[in-house]
Amino acid sequence: MAGEEQNTQQSGSVDVAAVIAAALSASGGGSNSVYIGTTTKTVLPPSTIAKPGAKPQTITMPNILTVQQANSLYLTDPKLQASWRNTMKKYGLETGNPLVERKAWETAVAGASDWYLTSNREAKITPEQYLQWWAGGSKKSGPKADLARSVYQYSPEQIDADINEVAQKILGRQIVDADKSADWYQDLTNGLNKMISKGTTTTTKLVKNKKTGKLEQVTTQTPEFTKEKAVETIESAVKAGDPVSVARKQNLDFANWAFEKMGGRG
């Protein structure tokens, strides 16, 4: 009699672990399974441990699918697609292209599955967690560029041509090999190359509009190199490099101007 009472007491309490194990056996548990998260499920206790008249129980359990099931679910569940799109936006990834979004899901599912299976089902990494690693961290904590920079492609031949054009106007002559071997010319070309390499920096930041109270994205461009800056730099260097030719050209220009004012030569 005591034995019967003991058996009745044992069968009167449901072994939740056994219930979960039974439920898992009906879910994806193969060699290509992936941990999706947790889910609630209503299950009947196994008949071997349940007392007569036992009612179904709602339990929270791991949501394990096969990789194929997870990928199929994505294609057939609009809510999952929308949630995944928001997750991609959160981590700064491209959205709006269904092909890219689906590829990101399949990559994250495959990666999460690898972690889950390789760890003997100990590392329960969801596709969302894997996506965060794949994206290099969230927008808030991940590295991001503070500036954008546009760098110009400016060949040495273009630099020489610009210097020659200014020299013709300031010195009244072409640049010759002696000029190119001079320190002033070398310093000038080095300075121009450094200026060109800086390009134009673009800074973007959010600024609150005082009138509307709304945040606006303001972009500020700061050009370190412009054609005007280059010409000014060349003119200064040319004048300092050959002051004799500069004076001669100025005298010649003045003489021509004076002749024109007096009615021409002869």
In the predicted structure, residue 105 carries a pLDDT above the cut 80: yes
- pLDDT-derived band at 158, boundaries 50, 70, 90: confident
| Ramachandran sector of residue 168 (left: φ over 0; alpha: ψ -120 to 50; beta: rest) | alpha
Q: What is the pLDDT of residue 42?
A: 74
Q: What is the DSSP letter of 219?
A: E
What is this structure's pTM? 0.40
263: amino acid identity, one letter: G
- pLDDT-derived band at 266, boundaries 50, 70, 90: very low
* 56 CB-contact burial (10 Å; exposed 0-12 / middle 13-18 / buried 19+): exposed
Number of alpha carbons in the 13 Å side-chain half-sphere of residue 39: 14
Q: What is the pLDDT of residue 79?
A: 93
Q: Domain ranges for the chain, please list them.
A: 2-134, 147-261
pLDDT in tens, 40-64: 777 666 655 556 666 777 777 788 8
* 32 CB-contact burial (10 Å; exposed 0-12 / middle 13-18 / buried 19+): middle
Q: What is the pLDDT of residue 69?
A: 92
Torsion sign across C-alpha atoms 33, 37, 38, 42: negative
Q: What is the pLDDT of residue 40?
A: 77
Phi/psi at 136 (nearest 5 deg)?
A: 85, 25
Distance CA 63, CA 39 (A): 6
Is residue 167 within 8 A of residue 240, CB to CB? The reply is no
In the predicted structure, residue 256 carries a pLDDT above the cut 70: yes
